[in-house]
Chains A and B, each alone.
Chain A
């Protein structure tokens, strides 16, 4: 009896909620619509635009330190006017400024752009629309997730302006540089702010991740079984799982680090002598412990960045090749395998730290296993394209570009996964080239593909195609021109994070090459500004979307109105009868998921 009451209670309260969405009679103020919005679509746009701001800041930082690497002996007086003495004394990027730039570039791009900006945007935007829900499971927590991210952004941004500079010990924040304020200028207030920002970020990602998981599992529309979900949702689901399970480990590591910094503990400290201070009393800790804790997050983090891109690319490739995705179940299986393996391979970032070699060899084995699901995915993408009736929209171009970059960058991963080769290659430009191609640029391409593809759904207008093609080709060619030569530099032993290579006899011959890389990097950065112009111009002036389903796509988001209100569908939520990939079936170009399966329909 009471159980019935419980169920009816829940059900009726949710019905009331649903009715509330149907009516839309309440007036939304500017604050409730654009600022403290609880609509997942608006929160997605907030994440996207904040992510874009960070991408510009992070990208600009890379331009600045590339300027130093490309032109180490030239002086640019305007730099001092622009940035001040701390960063660019006498027109030179200072050494401390250089390390601050490198560190902040890494932190910002990895966490703020490619984690929050990528999965924050597309998980928020696509999950409710593609699973057929009115909103996230908890819109309020969703809003909090954005505002925690915003707070983290403010703190991180403010750390750039403190007197001793932002944290400058590398985005991985290894102790003792991160644990001892005396270690470097950036290890003082900058590091405190860095830790606060990251802690807020972890909270944000936890709130978001729980919401994504609960929504995907619990709020799917009728008929939307797990195996009918578009691959975007599967990818975002595994992304959220990775985040929920790995970020807390980072948080623990940070809490211990905070104690080391402020309360005289020695979790990570042992046998340290600081110049001008003397021997420290801290004994018994292990700096490698932090690296283990950090990379226990750090490696899943790589996949938190990559998986959403993979999911969106799968969807976009299938839609624009007008073919069903090849090996749908294999795609899910490989996503699952990647998610599991992501937790088992962290120490391959630490082969040369004094890690036990036997343990290292197990990590080599597990690492190389990742090649299997990755290869499955690559072959499935290629076979999806094979003999497809391909429409080369900008989104499709970026999706194909993603596959290209993922292959190029993934192959060097097999080199780096071997602990013996890693002795030579670790901390060289080979590593830089590897992870920028496979994780950085590839995920940016996935993000661009997503933006171009779902822009009509977000704003009801199209992005300019011509600018899109220019954006694609220059970014694509530029990415290869920037990072391909770095492989050679790395193989020649050029270490990363050095301030000036021209003073080293061994690396002098790379001065010209570095200058070339820097030049291309600036051109590519300029093209991203072009994309931003396209983006913001098109919000107000772009070509209007006139049909509900401009790409001829099967998924649910295209059954919603062109400008969906809060609640997404004006009437009942559509019911789903088939998987998302019935393209080119039975002589029909596409069959939306909402269409009932015909009596004489063939099996896929």
Chain B
């Protein structure tokens, strides 16, 4: 769909939106800016602590398992987390499709894509739950770090402290994103948006969901790759 519509309309009963967006979307954008600073502060303080510490665990040694892995098979670093990453990317794509379908006022397509997005989010959360559980069984938790630095010296507990705090905070965002998407799904099924004549609400939920994906890009890089 590539249309350029010129609409003559009374906007705000007075002036007009300078950015051609309604205020809700603007607020969502600026909320996400604000949230970016929350995550930014977390990740930057993680970086600060890591820079102020001698040695750090090697992520490839720590994150090397996956569900149903047999005891005999060797370490498989990066495998499980790349699955998680792709789940989140795919769910972002389905969210884009839902927003697009909303623009085209295709209710069924919106519903279908929202369901896929919710499934993606739930799958991601399950993966995270498994990983947390697995690490906890290895003795890792807030205040407990069983892993050694890459040079085999004693590691600071801040490795696990930051890992659980930041992935937990991200997981909380994914969780609330799933809840928002479920609300959107229910509203779509109830024809709320059909009655309003637009699906702008889905667009805002979409922004939030993509932001969650965006944060994962950074979390993934900071904790699993480098």
Interface residues of A (CB under 8 A from B): 1-11, 13-15, 18, 132-134, 137-138, 141, 206, 209-211, 213-215, 217-224, 226, 244-249, 251-253, 255-256, 259, 263-267, 282-286, 289, 292-293, 296, 572-573, 575
Contacts and interface: CB of A to CB of B under 8 A. Distances in A.
Given A210-B34, A252-B45, 13 more contacts: A1-B5, A13-B196, A14-B13, A210-B31, A217-B19, A222-B15, A244-B34, A249-B37, A252-B38, A265-B143, A265-B161, A285-B49, A293-B41
B30 A249 contact: no
B12 A286 contact: no
Interface string B89-127: 000000000000001110000000000000000000000
Contacts of A3: 3, 5, 7, 103
B171 to A, nearest CB: 14
Interface stretch (B21-29, B129-137, B212-220): B21-29
B7 A4 contact: yes
B41 A217 contact: no
A133 B17 CA distance: 12
A10 B157 contact: no
A265 to B, nearest CB: 4
A245 B37 contact: yes
16 contacts: A132-B15, A133-B14, A137-B27, A214-B23, A217-B18, A222-B14, A246-B37, A248-B34, A248-B35, A248-B37, A252-B42, A252-B45, A256-B42, A266-B158, A289-B45, A289-B48
A218 B29 CA distance: 13
Nearest to A132: B14
A124 to B, nearest CB: 16
A259 B45 contact: no
Interface string B19-62: 10111101100110111011111100100110011000000000
A15 B13 contact: yes
Contacts of A134: 13
A289 B196 contact: no
Is chain A's interface secondary structure helix, strand, loop, or mixed overall? helix
Contacts of B48: 286, 289, 292
B165 interface: yes
For the complex of A and B, 6 pairs with smallest distance between CB atoms: A264-B143, A284-B156, A9-B197, A252-B41, A248-B38, A137-B23
Contact of A266 (B15, B19, B157): B157
A14 B12 contact: yes
Contacts of B161: 259, 265-267
Contacts of B104: 2
A138 B27 contact: yes
Nearest to B3: A3
Contacts of A206: 31, 34
B34 A245 contact: yes
Contact of B53 (A249, A259, A284): A284
A559 to B, nearest CB: 13
Contacts of B5: 1, 3-4, 7
A218 B26 contact: yes
A215 B24 CA distance: 10
A9 B34 contact: no
A138 B33 contact: no
Contact of B198 (A10, A14, A252, A296): A10
A286 B142 contact: no
Contacts of B30: 210, 213-214, 244
B187 interface: no
Interface residues of B, number: 53
A218 B12 contact: yes
A220 B198 contact: no
A264 B142 contact: yes
Given A9-B198, A132-B14, A245-B34, A293 B45 contact: yes
Nearest to B36: A248
B70 interface: no
A255 B197 contact: no
B49 A289 contact: yes
A573 B27 contact: no
Given A2-B103, A8-B197, A210 B157 contact: no
A173 to B, nearest CB: 16
A255 B15 contact: no
A14 B9 CA distance: 11
A246 B33 CA distance: 11
B41 A249 contact: yes
B158 A285 contact: yes
Contacts of B17: 217-218
A283 B14 CA distance: 60
A214 B26 contact: yes
Contact of B15 (A1, A211, A221, A248): A221
B105 A2 contact: yes
Contact of A7 (B3, B9, B13): B9
B169 interface: yes
B69 interface: no
B222 to A, nearest CB: 15
A365 B19 CA distance: 36
A8 B196 CA distance: 10
A314 B7 CA distance: 40
Contacts of B197: 5-6, 8-9
B203 to A, nearest CB: 10
Contacts of A1: 3, 5
Contacts of B22: 10, 218
Contacts of B26: 137, 213-214, 217-218
A293 B31 CA distance: 20
A287 to B, nearest CB: 11
B207 to A, nearest CB: 14
A284 B157 CA distance: 7
Contacts of B14: 132-133, 220-222, 572-573, 575
Contacts of B7: 3-4, 7-8
Contacts of A296: 41
A282 B49 CA distance: 14
Given A132-B14, A284-B157, A5 B105 contact: yes
B35 to A, nearest CB: 7
Contacts of A251: 38
A139 to B, nearest CB: 11
A289 B45 CA distance: 7
Contacts of B198: 5-6, 9-10
Given A214-B27, A245-B33, A265-B157, A11 B15 contact: no
Contacts of A249: 37-38, 40-41
A248 B143 contact: no
Nearest to A210: B27
Nearest to B195: A9
A574 to B, nearest CB: 9
Which of B12, B21, B26: most chain A CB closer than 10 A?
Answer: B12
Contacts of A264: 142-144
A8 B41 CA distance: 41
Given A11-B11, A132-B14, A256 B35 contact: no
A218 B23 contact: yes
Nearest to A241: B30
